[in-house]
Amino acid sequence: MKSFSERVEIRGRSLWSRNAVKGVSLRGERLKRDGRKEWRQWNPRASKLGAALIKASETGLLPEPGSMCLYLGSGHGTSISHLHDHMCGAKNHLGGVIVAVDISSRCIRDMIRLSKARPGKVPVMADCRHTEHILPFLSKKVPWLFQDVSQSGQVEMFIEACNNFLAPNGTGLLSLKSASERDTQGAFDYAEKSLKDAGLTLIERIDLAGWEDQHVLFHVVC
Ligand X SMILES: C[S@@+](CC[C@H](N)C(=O)[O-])C[C@H]1O[C@@H](n2cnc3c(N)ncnc32)[C@H](O)[C@@H]1O
Residues engaged in binding ligand X (CB under 6 A): 47-48, 73-75, 78-79, 101-104, 107, 127-129, 148-151
Beta-bridge partner residues of 102: 125
Taking the C-alpha atoms of residue 100 and residue 79, their distance in angstroms, rounded to an integer, is 11
Q: How far is the CB of 25 from ligand X (least distance, A)?
A: 15
Q: How far is the CB of 104 from ligand X (least distance, A)?
A: 4
**Which of 9, 212 has the CB closer to ligand X?**
212
**Which of 32, 45 has the CB closer to ligand X?**
45
Count CA atoms closer than 13 A to 29's CA, side-chain side: 25
**Distant-in-sequence, close-in-space partners of 101: CB < 8 Å, separation ≥ 6:** 70, 71, 72, 73, 74, 124, 125, 126, 128, 134
Beta-bridge partner residues of 203: none
* 90, 95, 135, 144 from 203: Cα distances, Å: 32, 28, 27, 14
Q: How far is the CB of 210 from ligand X (least distance, A)?
A: 17
**Which of 52, 68 has the CB closer to ligand X?**
52
**Which of 152, 201 has the CB closer to ligand X?**
152
Q: How far is the CB of 33 from ligand X (least distance, A)?
A: 25
**Which of 107, 200 has the CB closer to ligand X?**
107
Q: How far is the CB of 102 from ligand X (least distance, A)?
A: 5
Taking the C-alpha atoms of residue 82 and residue 47, their distance in angstroms, rounded to an integer, is 10
**Which of 95, 103 has the CB closer to ligand X?**
103
* 7, 49, 92, 96, 209 from 67: Cα distances, Å: 15, 18, 11, 5, 30
Q: How far is the CB of 35 from ligand X (least distance, A)?
A: 29
